[in-house]
Amino acid sequence: MIDVEAVRANTPAVASTIHLNNCGSSLPPQPVVEGAVEYLRLEAEIGGYEAYWAREDQMNVVYHATARYLGCDPTEVAYTSGAGDSWWRAFAAIPLDVGDRVLASTAEYQANAFALLQARERGVIVEVVPNDATGLIDLEVLRSMIDDRVKLVVLTHIAMANGAIQPASAVGQIAHEAGALFLLDSCQAAGQLPLDVDSLNCDFLAYTGRKFMRAMRGSGILYARSSVLDQLGHSPFIDGRSAVWTGPDTFEYQPGAQRFEYGEHNYSGKLALGLATNYALDVGIPAITERIATLAKRFRSGLRSIPNVQLLDLGLVQSGIVTFSIDGQDCPSVQRKLQVEGINVGAPGRTNSQWDLGERGLLDVVRAGLHYFNTEAEIDRTLEAVAAIA
């Protein structure tokens, strides 16, 4: 069981704010903040290179902590600037020729969709697999669509605008049975759900540090399965961290996932992500999952009882992301009214998720992302505020 008071004591902002925008950017624990700030001060005191050399062991914590979380080898972990960056680095290295097929879910975020639409312009056949009646990717339709021309299947683990947890493991198994690679965007799942890359059957997994992992903005992770690296083509951007200039006319990629890293990156964020990952592991991922589910159930139940409120979530198994709207009010205005009450939520629009929100005829949603440091009292206070607005 999580000691909620203890983790709240490590999160000073909760004293004055009800922060339910953890699916946008969460509140980092104080030890994570202090680690990042201390490193920045060290850079200012002795220089950037010198600070890195002095803290190199601490920098490498992120690889080992992430490997422990994902059940992989540390050499299969790359540090990036965020989920979209991670996803693009993997996608751009996968050879796709004219006539090759890529299958995607309706849950894809705009950054992923842009890459897919660009690939379509190059002659790659990109197809969106429809949902079943519950709002999850239809596995039977996926099986019927896949063939040996499908080189890649991409899936967003938890949709940013409907809360559904997708059947990632089953999708990965179907992809592998057809000989396709599987790229999983776990941006909203990391720090909220257990993630084991073997159980998920993924070849690549991308996520950001700033959401449920409670790290800093500008940090992210790319997992790349070592056994598939030989199938990849050139990465479009490489530097002295990604590769070695072996001779006047030759270069070699660094081994493992390091081939996806850049030398110039957010070093304080890297240190902070290692601290945040270990913090989450110490709290306990299964306990975090259970706590979030309990709070989300309470919030959804309360929303259903408020007149004029429409709950917009999909899926059989739902996450800590809760989406809703209020009849006759645009969602950004609801978000602003709640912020005046000291309650942080988001209001993402259709341009973030055309294949989901657009297909459902929704312009936007009010989105809350509940985390383990939130309390039942905060949920009830938010329900009161929503009822007053509605």
Q: What is the pLDDT of residue 236?
A: 84
Pair (142, 232) in one structural domain: yes
Q: Which helix (H) or strand (E) holds 145?
A: helix 139-145
Distance CA 294, CA 291 (A): 5
Express each pLDDT in 342-368 by its tens digit: 999 999 999 999 999 999 999 999 999
Express each pLDDT in 184-235 by its tens digit: 999 999 999 999 999 999 999 999 999 999 999 999 999 999 999 999 999 8
Express each pLDDT in 262-302 by its tens digit: 999 999 999 999 999 999 999 999 999 999 999 999 999 99
Pair (102, 173) in one structural domain: yes
The predicted model scores a pTM of: 0.97
Whole-number Cα distances in Å, 41 to 46, 123, 263, 266:
9, 49, 20, 14
Pair (199, 341) in one structural domain: no
Residue 184 per-residue DSSP state:
E
CB atoms within 10 A of CB 179: 11
Are the beta carbons of 196 and 214 closer than 8 angstroms?
Answer: no
Q: Report whether pLDDT(59) > 90.
A: yes
* Residue 123: exposure state from Cβ atoms within 10 A (0-12, 13-18, ≥19): exposed
Pair (322, 255) in one structural domain: no
Task: State the chain's mean pLDDT as an integer.
Answer: 97
Distance CA 218, CA 56 (A): 19
CB atoms within 10 A of CB 360: 17
Lowest mean pLDDT among 19-33, 233-247, 273-287, 370-384: 233-247
Q: What is the pLDDT of residue 235?
A: 87
| CA-wise closest residue to 152 among 78, 203, 76, 216 | 203
Mean pLDDT over 28-36 rounds to 98
Asked which of 221, 252, 282 is the last residue of a domain, the reply is: 282
Asked which of 265, 282, 299 is the last residue of a domain, the reply is: 282
Pair (336, 249) in one structural domain: no
DSSP, collapsed to helix, strand or coil, labels residue 373 as coil
Express each pLDDT in 150-194 by its tens digit: 999 999 999 999 999 999 999 999 999 999 999 999 999 999 999
- Number of domains forming the structure of the chain: 2
Chain centroid to CA 336: 25
| CA-wise closest residue to 183 among 83, 40, 35 | 83
Q: What angle do CA 227, 232, 236 make, to 5 degrees?
A: 135
Are the beta carbons of 21 and 336 closer than 8 angstroms?
Answer: no
Which residues constitute the domain of residue 382? 4-28+284-389
How many residues are listed for the chain in this entry?
390
Q: Report whether pLDDT(124) > 90.
A: yes
Sequence letter at residue 73: D
Mean pLDDT over 86-114 rounds to 97
Distance CA 47, CA 62 (A): 22
Asked which of 282, 316, 336 is the last residue of a domain, the reply is: 282
Pair (223, 307) in one structural domain: no
CA dihedral (348, 350, 353, 357) positive or negative:
positive
Express each pLDDT in 298-319 by its tens digit: 999 999 999 999 999 999 999 9
Q: What percent of the chain has pLDDT above 90?
A: 98
Which CATH number does the domain housing residue 120 bear? 3.40.640.10
Pair (273, 128) in one structural domain: yes
Pair (124, 248) in one structural domain: yes
